[in-house]
């Protein structure tokens, strides 16, 4: 095993179903608050981030700042385990802040999803509150307002580095654990939009005591990090939406992993529960308007 695992790790006991940034009821929450890490980055980290190869990825709109942030996201995927404060519950915003710092953007160091979004807005970024789709009489979802706001982000495009938050409340002002946040990274040619985040999806979320591994669960390539080391979060990418476009506009979108429910704006296609907010940091917003 890697030397980093010489660090002592106390196995985490978990409840049956855990979502978002929340800590399970059986985890020690004494004195804890959501996302209580101050992000930092060293010159050596920045140098190594800029050497990160992202040539295998494709994008919808990659701005200069977005390119740096994508390198930061990929670098953090490979180095999150160097700091075991991060792959744990209630650290979703701290992980996004760390990825921003690694990518050279050091103006948004937030403790919690609400504060992260507020930081972007207060510093001149743009917020897009995507209306929750309504269920029609025929059982289908009316996505028109949702898609209209999604198109407003970047004239029918989804720029790399855009922050994506899923929250129980429209303003992401609920209690810690009732929201989640990540960043748009790469977008495949078929319209699959990938979000990078401190993923929580694991076998026990499917059923109490579950042992069945499914695509896009944490540590799918090394189950021991979950089973034996007790890690319950992983910075990684998961597919968010698959969008269909025509004449430069997004005309439809479907969620690809409804099990990650706090990142699913459509509630499995039947019962939306989470409000989605897209936040474009000012550094990228300025590049979109050029």
Domain assignments of the chain as residue spans, ordered by start = 16-24+39-288
Distance of CA 39 to the CA centre of its chain: 17
144 contacts: CB under 8 Å, gap ≥ 6: none
Length of the chain: 290
Is the pTM of the predicted complex or chain greater than 0.75? yes
- Cα–Cα distance, 167 to 155 (Å, whole number): 24
279 has a pLDDT exceeding 70 = yes
- Cα–Cα distance, 287 to 70 (Å, whole number): 16
- Cα–Cα distance, 281 to 125 (Å, whole number): 5
- Cα–Cα distance, 218 to 131 (Å, whole number): 29
Structure confidence by residue, pLDDT tens digits, 114-150: 999 999 999 999 999 999 999 999 989 999 999 999 9
Q: Label residue 14 by pLDDT band (50, 70, 90).
A: very low
DSSP string covering 74-138: HHHHHHGGGSTTSSSTT-HHHHHHHHHHHTT--S---SSHHHHHHHHHHTT-EEEEEPPPEEPTT
pLDDT score recorded for residue 195: 98
> What is the distance in angstroms between the CA of the first residue and the CA of the last residue of the chain?
48
Range of weakest confidence among 33-37, 44-48, 220-224, 256-260: 33-37
- Per-residue pLDDT, averaged over 21-41, amounts to 53
92 has a pLDDT exceeding 70 = yes
SS3 content of the chain, % helix, strand, coil (to 5): 30, 20, 50
Contact 163/119 with Cβ under 8 angstroms? no
């Amino acid at each position: 095993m890697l030397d980093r695992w010489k660090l002592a790790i106390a196995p985490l006991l978990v409840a049956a179903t855990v979502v978002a940034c929340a800590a399970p009821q059986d985890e020690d929450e004494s004195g804890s608050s959501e996302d209580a890490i101050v992000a930092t980055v060293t010159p050596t980290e920045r140098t190594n981030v800029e050497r990160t190869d992202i040539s295998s990825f494709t994008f919808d709109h990659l701005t200069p700042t977005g390119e740096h942030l994508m390198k930061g996201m990929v670098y953090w995927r490979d180095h999150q385990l160097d700091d075991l404060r991060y792959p744990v519950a209630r650290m979703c915003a701290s992980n996004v802040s760390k990825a921003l710092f690694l990518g050279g953007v050091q103006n948004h160091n937030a403790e919690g999803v609400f504060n992260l979004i507020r930081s972007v807005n207060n510093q001149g970024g743009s917020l897009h509150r995507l209306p929750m789709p309504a269920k029609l009489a025929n059982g289908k979802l009316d996505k028109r307002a949702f898609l209209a706001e999604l198109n407003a982000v970047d004239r029918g495009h989804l720029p790399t580095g855009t922050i994506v938050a899923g929250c129980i409340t429209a303003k992401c002002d609920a209690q810690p654990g009732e929201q989640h946040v990540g960043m748009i990274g790469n977008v495949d040619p078929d319209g699959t939009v990938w979000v990078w985040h401190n993923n929580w999806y694991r076998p026990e979320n499917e059923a109490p005591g579950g042992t069945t591994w499914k695509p896009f669960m944490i540590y799918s390539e090394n189950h021991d990090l979950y089973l034996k080391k007790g890690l319950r979060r992983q910075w990684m990418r998961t597919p968010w939406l698959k969008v269909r476009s025509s004449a430069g506009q997004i005309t439809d979108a479907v969620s690809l992993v409804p099990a990650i429910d706090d990142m699913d704006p459509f509630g499995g296609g039947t019962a939306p529960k989470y409000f989605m907010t897209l936040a474009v940091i000012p550094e990228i917003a300025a590049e979109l308007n050029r």
